[in-house]
């Protein structure tokens, strides 16, 4: 008989068999936020620019960084990098050294002299920004690149605020500040230096003259330590100390210094004083493990022979001709629910004495609100703002330390970016765009770790301690280009397609096609919804979704 058995044999393609009809679920290519992005104060597209670093597209990486933060070289040195805390890679070996890579890209931009692209359009609306620190400059940048006319009023002689006057050169050299701030002013930002908006009347006048006003004066008034007489020559507040020493002037205080406080400013004071040859003791209310400064700052301070007395308070100062005799006592420190809140209980009979020549309190700073109280009321030490950083007065916005207790440089930069968007919406509502919807973050379990080999982090080296104490040279030594590319290559690119072609190669129905210029498309006639592409995606950027009838 040998009847032809045509259905069983295939002598052309199997395209006639529409396996797509079997499907109940469909893969969807959708880049979703990486955990680092979710943690980043400026919403940086970290996975994207790290990928660009691996592709040796440093300019592209810099542009991606600059989208959200005009200070990659600065942030790459001083950011508290919550991105690294959130990094999924810690579940395989170690987090990616994102901060050191940001510095690498930022330094590259300075070396190469890259400038910010000019605004595509010029707008007539004008914005006054009061304060030329991280928040003011971030807002100025975001508004100016959108074409708005921006004027900064800065009370000091130079722009930079805390970046210039509050952070010592061994962490952030002023040449870096000059370069990144200069790029912003080069965009065509008007700057008035040495001008202080002293009172409500002056602020009200600005509001009349400009389409909107942004307040970014930071927290410039030192908190006062109760019971300490600041008028004495042996007391100098930390902000003054850092401004003087950062300005190149010498320290007039004695040989033995007591720094009071456990935050970043206290570490900066202590380590600066060590570089000036002083013997330094840091006295903190907080116990060692609760110190608010970044851990690396504390560790490096100890390396530099700063002595710590944690969990203790200053009770009395007795000035003698041979110096100060300080009476201190141990305390039981209990952190409170919110940042900056705590309770202390003195431990009876724990008094002890210290002998020093001078005291530098570094216990934080408050915003100066009283001068504008009539125009922008504030409470709890901050100007009242809503989620879009609008004050209670229409047309006036505020962000950064003047409006938030999230006292990190990059937090201020991120807040100011959001405030700039809100300002743009306010002054030109027609141009307003709705922000993209928030998507769930890519968790570790969506990463196919078969495609990521364990590989230890390429860490930045530090200068040797003996070298550090001889100068204000930067402690952290930048990654080499090779190290940077290798380190960026450790990124999982969580939730971000890297055009690896795994989906294209593994699809059993050849239902995936590559798009010109990157990305992929699923042929619905043949995708049977097996999910192999999702399983083999190294980055978790493909997702199965129920295939509902359209």
Partner 1 sequence: MNLMNRKNMQLLSGNHAVSWAARLCRPDVAPLYPITPQTPILEKITEFHAEGLMKTELLTPESEHSAMAACISASLTGARVFTATSSQGLLLQHELLHYATGARAAIVMCNVNRTPASPWGFWPDQLDSLSQRDTGWVQFYSESPQESLDSVIMAFAIAESVGVPTMVCHDAFYVSHSMEPVEIPDQAMVDDFLPKFDPARKLDTAVGASFGAPLDQNTWRRSRMDLAESLAAVTDETIRVGEAWGKLTGRSYGPLERYRCDDAEMVIVTMGSMCGTVRDAVDTMRENGKRVGLLKVRQFRPLPASMLRDALAGVPVVMVLDRNYSPGTGGILHQELKAVLSGMADGPKVHGLLAGIGGANVSSETIDRWVRDYQNAEPKPESQWVE
Stretch in the footprint of partner 1 (CB under 8 A) among 3-11, 109-117, 239-247, 438-446: 3-11
The minimum distance between CB 528 and partner 1, in angstroms, equals 9
Of residues 340 and 508, the one with the C-beta less far from partner 1 = 508
Q: How far is the CB of 9 from partner 1 (least distance, A)?
A: 5
Contact between 392 and partner 1 by CB under 8 A: the answer reads no
Residues paired with 460 in a beta bridge: none
Angle between helices 58-66 and 46-54 (to 10 degrees): 170
- Contact criterion met (CB below 8 Å) for 251 and 164: no
Distance between CA atoms of residues 108 and 114, nearest Å: 9
Q: How far is CA 200 from CA 19, 162, 381, 492, in A?
A: 71, 24, 17, 51
User: Considering only 5-13, 97-105, 191-199, 415-423, which stretch makes contact with partner 1 by CB under 8 A?
Assistant: 5-13
* Residue of 299, 310, 301, 293 lying closest to 272 (CA atoms): 301
Radius of gyration, CA atoms only, the chain: 28
For residue 51, report the phi and psi dihedrals to the nearest 5 degrees: -60, -40
CB of 483 to partner 1, least distance (A): 50
**Residue 486: what are its φ and ψ, rounded to 5°?**
-65, -40
Which are the contacts of 274, defined by CB distance < 8 A and separation ≥ 6?
280, 301, 304, 305, 306, 469
Using rule CB under 8 A, residue 113 touches partner 1: no
Range in contact with partner 1 (rule: CB under 8 A) among 6-14, 184-192, 251-259, 457-465: 6-14
Minimum separation from the CB atom of position 537 to partner 1 (A):
25
The contact pattern for partner 1, residues 16-55, with x = CB under 8 A and - = no contact, is -xxx-x----------------------------------
To the nearest whole angstrom, how small is the minimum distance from the Cβ of residue 26 to partner 1? Answer: 19
Binding of partner 1 by 205 (CB under 8 A): no
Buried b (16+ CB within 10 A) or exposed e, 461-471: ebbeeeebbee
Count of residues engaged in binding partner 1, rule: CB under 8 A: 15
Q: Which range, of 2-10, 96-104, 365-373, 414-422, touches partner 1 by CB under 8 A? A: 2-10
Rounded to the nearest 5°, which phi and psi values hold at 450?
Answer: -60, -25
DSSP state of 235: B
**What's the min distance (Å) between Cβ of 1 and partner 1?**
6
Kindly tell me which of 14 and 345 has the beta carbon lying closer to partner 1: 14
Range 246-265, binding partner 1 (CB under 8 A): none
CB atoms within 10 A of CB 111: 11
The C-alpha atoms of residue 248 and residue 267 are separated, in whole angstroms, by 18
To partner 1, the closest distance from the beta carbon of 20 in angstroms equals 11
Q: Which two tokens stand for residue 353?
A: 């004495």
Examine residue 523 and tell whether it contacts partner 1 (CB under 8 A).
no
| Residues 177, 250: Cα–Cα separation, whole Å | 22
Binders of partner 1 among residues 159 to 178 (CB under 8 A) are none
CA atoms within 13 A on the CB side of 336: 7
Nearer to partner 1 by Cβ, of 12 and 453: the residue is 12
Secondary structure, 3-state, 206-255: HHHHCCEEEECCCCCEECCCCCCCCCCCCECCHHHHHHHHHCCCCCCCCC
Name the residue nearer to partner 1 (CB basis): 9 or 121: 9
Nearer to partner 1, 150 or 530 (CB): 530
Q: Judged by CB under 8 A, does residue 226 bind partner 1?
A: no
Q: Which residues are bridge partners to 280 per DSSP?
A: 257
For residue 21, the minimal CB distance to partner 1 (Å) is 8
Could you tell me the smallest distance in angstroms from the CB atom of residue 542 to partner 1? 23
State whether the Cα torsion 512-515-518-521 is positive or negative: negative
Give the contacts of 370 (CB within 8 A, at least 6 positions apart): none
SS3 label, residue 32: coil
The minimum distance between CB 416 and partner 1, in angstroms, equals 58
Which position among 11, 231, 250, 320 is part of the footprint of partner 1 (CB under 8 A)? 11
Q: Which of 10, 111, 513, 545 binds partner 1 (CB under 8 A)?
A: 10
Stretch binding partner 1 (CB under 8 A), from 15-23, 37-45, 83-91, 209-217: 15-23
Cα separation, 297 vs 262, whole angstroms:
10
Options 5, 320, 387, 453; binder of partner 1; rule CB under 8 A: 5
What stretch of H or E contains 51?
Answer: helix 46-54
Shortest distance in whole angstroms from residue 509 CB to partner 1: 10
The values of phi and psi at residue 428, to 5°, are: -140, 80
Whose Cβ is closer to partner 1: residue 3's or residue 295's? 3
State the residues that interact with partner 1 by CB under 8 A.
1-5, 7-11, 14, 17-19, 21
């Amino acid at each position: 008989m040998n009847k032809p058995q045509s259905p069983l044999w295939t002598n052309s393609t199997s395209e006639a068999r529409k396996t797509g009809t079997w499907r109940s679920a469909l893969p969807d290519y959708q880049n979703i936020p990486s955990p680092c992005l979710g943690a980043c104060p400026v919403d940086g597209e970290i996975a994207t620019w790290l990928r660009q670093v691996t592709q040796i597209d440093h300019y592209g990486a810099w542009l991606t960084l600059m989208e959200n933060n005009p200070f990659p070289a600065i942030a790459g040195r001083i950011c508290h990098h919550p991105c690294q805390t959130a990094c999924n890679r810690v579940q395989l070996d170690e987090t990616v050294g994102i901060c050191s890579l940001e510095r690498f890209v930022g330094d590259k931009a300075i070396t190469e002299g890259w400038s910010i692209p000019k605004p595509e359009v010029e707008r007539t609306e004008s914005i006054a920004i009061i304060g030329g620190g991280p928040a003011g400059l971030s807002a100025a940048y975001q508004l100016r690149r959108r074409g708005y006319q921006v004027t900064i009023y800065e009370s000091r002689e130079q722009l930079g605020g805390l970046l210039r006057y509050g952070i010592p050169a061994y962490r952030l050299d002023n040449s870096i500040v000059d370069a990144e701030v200069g790029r912003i002013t080069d965009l065509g930002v008007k700057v008035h230096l040495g001008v202080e908006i002293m009172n409500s009347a002056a602020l009200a006048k600005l509001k009349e003259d400009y389409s909107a006003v942004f307040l970014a004066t930071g927290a410039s008034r030192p908190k006062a330590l109760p019971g300490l007489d600041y008028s004495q020559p042996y007391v100098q507040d930390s902000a003054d100390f850092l401004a003087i020493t950062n300005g190149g002037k010498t320290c007039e205080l004695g040989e033995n210094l007591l720094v009071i406080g456990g935050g970043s400013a206290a570490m900066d004071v202590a380590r600066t004083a060590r570089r000036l040859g002083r013997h330094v003791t840091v006295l903190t209310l907080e116990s060692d493990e609760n110190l608010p400064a970044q851990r690396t700052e504390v560790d490096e301070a100890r390396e530099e022979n700063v002595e710590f007395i944690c969990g203790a308070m200053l009770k009395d100062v007795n000035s003698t001709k041979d110096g100060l005799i300080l009476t201190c006592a141990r305390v039981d420190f209990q952190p409170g629910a919110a940042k900056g809140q705590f309770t202390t209980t003195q431990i009876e009979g724990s008094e002890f004495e210290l002998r020093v020549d001078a005291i530098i309190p570094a216990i934080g700073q408050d915003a100066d609100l009283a001068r504008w109280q009539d125009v922008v009321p504030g409470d709890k030490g901050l100007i009242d703002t809503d989620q879009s950083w609008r004050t209670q007065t229409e047309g006036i916005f505020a962000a950064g330390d003047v409006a938030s207790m999230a006292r990190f440089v990059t937090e201020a930069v991120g807040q100011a970016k959001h405030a700039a968007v809100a300002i743009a919406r306010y002054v030109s509502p027609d141009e307003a765009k709705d922000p993209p919807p928030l998507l769930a973050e890519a968790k570790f379990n969506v990463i196919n770790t078969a495609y990521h080999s364990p590989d230890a982090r390429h860490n930045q080296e530090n200068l040797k301690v003996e070298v550090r104490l001889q100068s204000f040279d930067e402690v952290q030594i930048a990654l080499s280009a090779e190290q940077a590319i290798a380190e960026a290559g450790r990124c999982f690119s969580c939730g971000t397609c890297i055009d690896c072609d795994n989906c294209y190669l593994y699809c059993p129905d050849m239902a995936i096609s590559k798009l010109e210029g990157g990305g992929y498309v699923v042929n619905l006639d043949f995708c049977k919804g097996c999910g192999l592409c999702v399983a083999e995606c190294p980055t978790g950027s493909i997702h199965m979704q129920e295939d509902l009838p359209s």
